């Protein structure tokens, strides 16, 4: 991390801590450093490789990534590891061997509801473990086309009591990437409606908040996004909804009620189709006078933070760690 980035992180930490005594503890951060070479190169490479139509092609050819990539040996050796099952699907829990925090992150991977855990998820989890000393629960939740939103929520209904058994609710953090962010926010709304314990924080990384893809601002961003395609996402959203009204909060949590939830933080890149709804979500939160920590990275692509070798990824990961480590 360069000196300027470090100063920004220190200022962020100070603002978080100072905000604890204020009514509005929200943060708005816009990354003002020019993009490094790697994200620019990767976006050019995405264009060459035709990544934009990947989801559409996989659905049309019935190629779904149902199996999770196994955790790497370094993760299994560096941390205490437990493996369980919920509804015949694996759940991993990783815990630091020394100086473990009492906090537990429930990490919900992305993949457009059609793809499972990847090597990039595990690298991201490893970074979080090192920088937070939290325990991290990583579920292999059900995916389409075999399952749908109902199966996913049933899975988390069974998993969440297990997470609560590890620590108290004020130490629980929901973290979701992409569609996992939609699940995290939707499930938190469901817990509130059922008067069940709420996590202390909900951290959303490039979240998919609206399966309808109806925000008109998406059209302009579509020209910049080299990874996600509108048609494929609509197809995946329809499979996930399985006939449910797509504006139901369990499928599109942006249409739900945001009151009474854990503190929400959102990370978004401006070259991501979902950026339009991230901005819309921020405005809806502000309109309801609900605090939100909002982090915007110009010219960054969808879930850039999981590519941990980039400067911008490390910067975002450090901000995420700061949010977690200083939420006391």
Residues 306 and 124: beta-carbon distance below 8 Å: yes
How many domains are there within the chain? 1
Q: So what's the pLDDT on residue 213? A: 98
Q: Domain for residue 7, yes or no?
A: no
Asked whether residue 40 is assigned to any structural domain, the reply reads: no
CA 293 and chain centroid, separation: 14
pLDDT (mean) for 198-203: 99
Segment 72-84 shows an average pLDDT of 98
Tell me what pLDDT residue 3 has.
40
Q: Extract the tokens encoding 4.
A: 């300027």
Name the token pair of 121: 């998820």
Name the percent of the chain lying above pLDDT 90.
91
What span, in angstroms and rounded, lies between the C-alpha atoms of 99 and 79? Answer: 12
Whether the Cβ atoms of residue 268 and residue 274 lie closer than 8 Å to each other:
yes
**The pLDDT of residue 25:** 67
DSSP 92: E
Question: Does residue 17 lie in a domain region?
Answer: no
Residues 6+ apart with CB under 8 A from 298: 30, 31, 35, 269, 270
Q: Largest alpha-carbon pair distance within the chain?
A: 54
Handedness of CA 266, 279, 179, 206 (dihedral sign): negative
Q: Is residue 106 part of a domain?
A: yes
pLDDT score for 65: 83
Average pLDDT over residues 37-56: 97
| 113/115 Cα distance (integer angstroms) | 6
pLDDT at site 69: 98
CA distance 190 to 153: 9
Please tell me whether residue 80 adopts helix, strand or coil conformation.
Answer: strand
Q: Residue 211: what pLDDT?
A: 98
Hey, what are 265's tokens? 């933080």
> Is the Cβ–Cβ distance between 291 and 327 less than 8 Å?
no
To which residue do tokens 């061997």 refer? 97
Rounded mean pLDDT of 223-227?
Answer: 98
With a pLDDT cut of 70, the percent of the chain lying above it is 92
- Asked if pLDDT for residue 82 goes beyond 80, the answer is yes
In Å, how far are 51, 75, 203, 231, 233 from 320, measured between CA atoms? Answer: 27, 20, 8, 31, 27
pLDDT at 165 exceeding the cut of 80: yes
Calculated CA dihedral for residues 9, 10, 13, 19, nearest 10 degrees: -120
Mean pLDDT, all residues of the chain = 93
Q: What is the pLDDT of residue 67?
A: 93
Confidence of residue 187 (pLDDT cuts 50, 70, 90): very high
Give the SS3 label for residue 113. Answer: coil
Q: Quick one: pLDDT at residue 14? A: 39
- pLDDT of residue 34 exceeding 70, the answer is yes
Q: How far apart, in whole angstroms, are the C-alpha atoms of residue 109 and residue 315? A: 20
Express each pLDDT in 287-325 by its tens digit.
999 999 999 999 999 999 999 999 999 999 999 999 999
- The residue with greater pLDDT, 73 or 8, is 73
Nearest alpha-carbon partner for 76 in 94, 89, 90: 94
Asked, for residue 36, whether it belongs to a domain, the answer is no
**Which has more confidence, 298 or 3?**
298
Full residue range of the structural domain in which residue 168 is found: 50-325
* Residue partners of 283: CB distance under 8 A and separation at least 6: none
pLDDT for res 263: 98
Of 20-24, 69-73, 117-121, where does mean pLDDT reach its minimum?
A: 20-24
In a domain, 8, yes or no: no
Specify whether the CB–CB gap between 273 and 211 falls below 8 A. Answer: no
Q: Which residues are CB-neighbours of 189 under 8 A, at least 6 positions away?
A: 249, 253, 256, 257, 258, 261
Residue 152 in any domain: the answer is: yes
Residue 129 lies in a domain: yes
Whole-angstrom CA distances from 322 to 15, 125, 217, 268 are 11, 15, 31, 17
Q: Indicate the pLDDT class of residue 328, thresholds 50, 70 and 90.
A: low
First-residue to last-residue Cα distance in the chain: 26
Q: Please give the average per-residue pLDDT across 228-250, as a whole number.
A: 98
Residue 66: band (very low, low, confident or very high) from pLDDT cuts 50, 70, 90: confident
**86: β partners:** 89
- Give the CATH number of the domain where residue 289 resides: 3.40.50.1820
Q: Exposure of 196 by Cβ count < 10 A (0-12 exposed, 13-18 middle, 19+ buried)?
A: middle
The arithmetic mean of pLDDT across residues 255-277, rounded, is: 98
**Is-cis flag, bond preceding 145, omega within 30?**
yes
């Amino acid at each position: 991390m360069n000196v300027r980035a470090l100063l920004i992180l220190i200022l962020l930490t100070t603002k978080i801590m100072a905000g604890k005594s204020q009514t509005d503890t929200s943060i708005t951060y816009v990354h003002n450093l020019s993009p490094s070479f790697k994200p620019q190169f990767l976006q050019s490479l995405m264009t060459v490789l035709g990544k934009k139509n990947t989801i559409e092609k996989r659905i049309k050819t019935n190629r779904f990534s149902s199996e999770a990539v196994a955790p790497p040996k370094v993760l299994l050796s560096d941390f205490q590891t437990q493996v369980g099952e919920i509804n015949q699907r694996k759940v991993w829990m990783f815990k630091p061997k020394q100086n473990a925090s009492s906090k537990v992150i429930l990490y919900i991977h992305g993949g457009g509801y059609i793809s499972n855990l990847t090597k990039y998820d595990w690298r991201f989890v490893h970074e979080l473990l090192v920088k937070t000393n939290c325990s991290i629960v990583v579920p292999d939740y059900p995916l389409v086309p075999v399952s749908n939103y109902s199966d996913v929520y049933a899975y988390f209904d069974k998993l969440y009591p297990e997470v609560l058994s590890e620590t108290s609710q004020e130490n629980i953090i929901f973290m979701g990437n992409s569609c996992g962010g939609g699940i995290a926010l939707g499930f938190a709304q469901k817990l509130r409606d059922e008067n069940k314990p709420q996590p202390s924080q909900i951290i959303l990384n490039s979240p998919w908040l609206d399966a309808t893809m109806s925000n008109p601002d998406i059209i302009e961003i579509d020209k910049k996004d080299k990874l996600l395609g509108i048609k494929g996402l609509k197809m995946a959203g329809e499979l996930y909804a399985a006939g449910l009204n797509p504006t139901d909060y369990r499928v599109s949590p942006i249409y739900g009620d945001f009151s009474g939830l854990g503190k929400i933080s959102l990370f978004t890149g401006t070259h991501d189709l979902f950026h339009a709804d991230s901005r819309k979500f921020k405005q809806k939160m502000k309109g309801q006078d609900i605090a939100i920590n909002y982090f915007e990275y110009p010219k960054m692509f969808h879930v850039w933070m999981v590519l941990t070798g980039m400067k911008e990824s490390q910067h975002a990961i450090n901000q995420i760690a700061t949010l977690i480590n200083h939420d006391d």
